[in-house]
Structure 1
């Protein structure tokens, strides 16, 4: 690894020099200075250590930080690669605790970028022409708020553009999708089809399906031909490299599985459908092989594993923590206890605003949820289940509490099992948060939801729940709960999450629950150091301190002082993983 890394440093030095990003000096330093490989100096270094210390220089040898301090560090160390930051900010790379890799499939249209129904339809016509009649057209990421019409896409919109191709377009957040008439016909869905378990089929005023299926659209999804890992592997690499440009140096993959393990060692029975309906996701096995091949050029990943059932989980020989600092196993998750607000079917303790009697849906009976939690606990797994509505959080925490109180974990002390609730969107009752505090149950939250889903929250939440959506200050400061940040792809960029956490503003400019905001330093810590804690890697990464991995980013502004709105448009200048320059804005455009 040493030789490979030195080649990488040399390449990085040439890249920086060619880009004009910073002067490079070879073996800079006084005689007798300690040899390092990389020095960054003349910067505003946010260490995010316990005191949130600020320095100006960092020295790196191999993949680790060896020194942090002032400009005097240049006299103590010499390096082949010396980067003058010219006052820019150097800080730990972001750790996103909830991401879903979203590589582009050959059948996909770029619907996430569409700003009108006409644009969506033009994309469909072009793809239908390119693929030919009968071929599936897919896509991910549309949002009605981004369309000029400010309404959901319906099957009529799809039929008008691609009547001879089955179409399924998944909304941003993956909690609902829209299908055209041909896709619905192939799936056997008509006006008489009952709602799928945990989901809803929407109907028009005439009683016919309008194309929107909330939460459970597997009946359509499983009909789409599998692209295969040979096709999706290069697309996955492209996606992984794309998040380096956003400053993400580590992430938790919330859609991992063990579907390609051998039968009898965690894999499904021969002929049995796995949890990844398209069969081309980044499983734990594929991730390890991919990272072994690609070296240190990708962001580090901790993989959630979708609960595969008791038999398969017991047969799998590993559990949380297995792996290395590039690819490791994380929690059982994010198996959904309820839906989400992009459906919307999140499970609430009160009626949705304007929808008397409708409170969303839970996915499990108490007994079913307890059985899953208990099985995972006995096998030594961390838990990180999806619970968005307050009713779902109450049910999840109750199941956690029972298991934590009765099932010991041989690998961790009772107070160090680091189970967490994934999302925690609607603030639950006080008793539930008190139970979480007693059991040391943590939170992996997405503050960007407040920004991205403002329209949905305004439509369906009562005033109190609207003000306390994605609350931070109450659970953290009043109840002492531990929280780490992520994005769930809505959008991926961490700077949006920081903006929402410190301002509590949506795109409209309205402030929702100002009392739930936190300081900039607190928000940065939740997006860096706290993410490392969630995977027992707090001694390895998340802060810029000697001995830790040199996972760092360079920003052209100071996130502690820049105008909040500037965060929404902010860009990352450079990203380092293990001291290797893996993204440079000046060479990527």
Structure 2
């Protein structure tokens, strides 16, 4: 293996002009266990970066010649280095807008801990300010295995309106919150109904209704948006994330991308964002997309921020609709044909294999008229995809963005689907079929944004409550799982030849981990963090013992 690496690295170096080879590197990482994830699964000890790209991968002797007076050398201390993680489906732009103002229950192990976070937020908030938990948690993570009550929230923050959302299924609000929204005592907001289980204060609704309710909450200021985006992206960097594909979402208008765009103009983004346009105007989606994209050709942008097509809601009539009628399908077909003719990528939210025929039938019809195989279209979710569905997706060139929803909702799936739930999601089947798969989280309304929690779940198949779920046939190896979170996800933004592996010529996006992903016990993978995260040769996050490196490595152009 090492001999193969030496030969490959030498050959790659010979392809560079002599003047380029003679130039010193900006950054060299040495004494590392570098998982390149190249085709040969090569492991190296040293890599060198210049002008935001990898210029050498090998051993210390090979790279030593690239060291010069301006080179910053980082001794990894034998730690594992992986390509930067890429989330193929995260609502990060929306999450970032309010990250500095919301209360986060991700990782809270009990209702007491969750209430402590509410109390702490109340102590920081301005008098009478809203406290909002927008999602990313489940009662199964709490030792009590139940939801907090309105009374517990009221006790924790008696002087603040409190809003708590569970996935896109249920909401609880304190009396002050209902009063602030003008909801008369003894009634519920429009579109909501009492929780079926009778939980005091809890109400239920569908994704459209709950999103409409959320839209009535006070919006963070623009300064909050900027601060939240910086803080959220840094938090993702702490977890080794260097890129993501954002599918838009409810409750985010075009004007709310301003903070993201400002940070991009300032060259202050710390991860790469490929974003889609999400339809917000029911019944007028085609005109909306025409208006929004007339100055946005596919791929418009640069290595840090670029436009990545349409989705994940394409038309409301085909969104979460397992029984679309002929009119809904005709209107959807008109829109996807328009997108295909303009070579726009399309990603769509689809959950049920039992109804996916409605979608794939239209895609197959379109493909016969306007080929879509090379457009990187994708389906998000679809945790119960059958072998037949996966084969049809492969034939159409449609990828699958797979998330760890079953980590949070697997207990329910086991209760309702029995043994059929043990192949959800069918990761192994998709890999064997050859479908392009990208891993992700769907954060932050319905899941945690932590990629290592998702990676652990991909490997051990256990739900948040600890129940074993997925069978061995659908479980990837550690290397396969990591590939899905790196080069697999890069495919969805047309970037698999530019990032996702640590090879000469590729963008220098990588993370030095605090523990070895490949050998640490499965149950500890979810606790992994990055000690140093690099995007385009620039250190965007560093903790001890690498914290000094964060201010001394030249930024990528």
Measured against aligned partners, the alpha-carbon deviations of 1:543-589 in whole angstroms (never above 9, x if no partner) come to 11111110011124432333222312222221111111111121669
Q: Distance in 1 between matches of 2:275 and 2:452?
A: 23
**Aligned counterpart, 1:76:** 65
Greater percentage in helix: 2
Q: How many Å apart are 1:314 and its aligned residue?
A: 0.9
Q: Secondary structure of 2:395's match?
A: helix
The residue correspondences of 1:427-438 to structure 2 (distance < 5 A) are 427-428=385-386, 430-438=387-395
Contact kept, 8 Å, 2:214 with 2:251, in 1: the verdict is no
Contact kept, 8 Å, 1:251 with 1:301, in 2: the verdict is yes
Residue 285 of structure 2 corresponds to residue 329 of structure 1: no
**Aligned counterpart, 1:25:** none
The partner residue of 1:457 within 413, 426, 430 is 413
Gaps of 5+ in 2: 1-20, 549-557
Contact kept, 8 Å, 1:383 with 1:420, in 2: the verdict is yes
Contact kept, 8 Å, 2:150 with 2:200, in 1: the verdict is no
For residues 319 and 555 of structure 1, do their structure 2 counterparts lie closer, same or farther at Cα, with a shift above 3 Å needed? same
| TM-score (ref. length: structure 1) | 0.76
**Aligned counterpart, 2:463:** 506
Q: Distance in 2 between matches of 1:98 and 1:292?
A: 24
Q: Secondary structure of 2:88's match?
A: strand
Contact kept, 8 Å, 1:451 with 1:506, in 2: the verdict is yes
**Aligned counterpart, 2:429:** 474
Measured against aligned partners, the alpha-carbon deviations of 1:297-321 in whole angstroms (never above 9, x if no partner) come to 5111111221242112112321431
Residue 379 of structure 2 corresponds to residue 406 of structure 1: no
Residue 179 of structure 2 corresponds to residue 223 of structure 1: no
Q: How many Å apart are 1:99 and its aligned residue?
A: 1.5
Q: How many Å apart are 1:337 and its aligned residue?
A: 8.7
Measured against aligned partners, the alpha-carbon deviations of 1:27-72 in whole angstroms (never above 9, x if no partner) come to xxxxx95422122222222111122222222111110111222233
Contact kept, 8 Å, 1:287 with 1:327, in 2: the verdict is no
Instruction: Tell me which moved more, 231-240 or 328-337.
Output: 328-337
Instruction: Tell me which moved more, 507-516 or 246-255.
Output: 507-516
Q: Secondary structure of 2:26's match?
A: strand
**Aligned counterpart, 2:8:** none
Q: Distance in 2 between matches of 1:288 and 1:70?
A: 40
The partner residue of 2:83 within 82, 92, 117 is 92
Q: How many Å apart are 1:421 and its aligned residue?
A: 0.6
Residue 399 of structure 2 corresponds to residue 442 of structure 1: yes
- After superposition, the CA RMSD in angstroms is 3.4
The residue correspondences of 1:379-394 to structure 2 (distance < 5 A) are 379=339, 380=342, 381-394=344-357
Residue 286 of structure 2 corresponds to residue 310 of structure 1: yes
Q: How many Å apart are 1:208 and its aligned residue?
A: 9.4
**Aligned counterpart, 2:265:** 292
**Aligned counterpart, 1:29:** none
Q: Secondary structure of 1:304's match?
A: strand
For residues 420 and 176 of structure 1, do their structure 2 counterparts lie closer, same or farther at Cα, with a shift above 3 Å needed? farther
Measured against aligned partners, the alpha-carbon deviations of 1:494-522 in whole angstroms (never above 9, x if no partner) come to 22222222222334252422210011111
The residue correspondences of 1:140-539 to structure 2 (distance < 5 A) are 140-141=134-135, 142-155=137-150, 157-158=152-153, 166-171=161-166, 173-181=167-175, 183-184=177-178, 186=181, 196=191, 201-203=193-195, 210-215=202-207, 216-255=209-248, 276=251, 283=257, 286-295=259-268, 298-308=270-280, 309-316=285-292, 317=294, 318-335=296-313, 362=322, 365=325, 367-368=327-328, 371-372=331-332, 374-379=334-339, 380=342, 381-408=344-371, 414-428=372-386, 430-446=387-403, 448-459=404-415, 461-477=416-432, 479-489=433-443, 490-507=447-464, 508=466, 510-539=468-497
For residues 365 and 398 of structure 1, do their structure 2 counterparts lie closer, same or farther at Cα, with a shift above 3 Å needed? same
For residues 77 and 194 of structure 1, do their structure 2 counterparts lie closer, same or farther at Cα, with a shift above 3 Å needed? closer
Q: Give the aligned length.
A: 504
| TM-score (ref. length: structure 2) | 0.80
Q: Secondary structure of 1:91's match?
A: strand
Contact kept, 8 Å, 1:382 with 1:419, in 2: the verdict is yes
Measured against aligned partners, the alpha-carbon deviations of 1:348-368 in whole angstroms (never above 9, x if no partner) come to xxxxxxxxxxxxx64954643
Residue 102 of structure 2 corresponds to residue 108 of structure 1: yes
Q: Secondary structure of 2:313's match?
A: coil
Contact kept, 8 Å, 1:92 with 1:542, in 2: the verdict is yes
Q: Distance in 2 between matches of 1:519 and 1:451?
A: 18
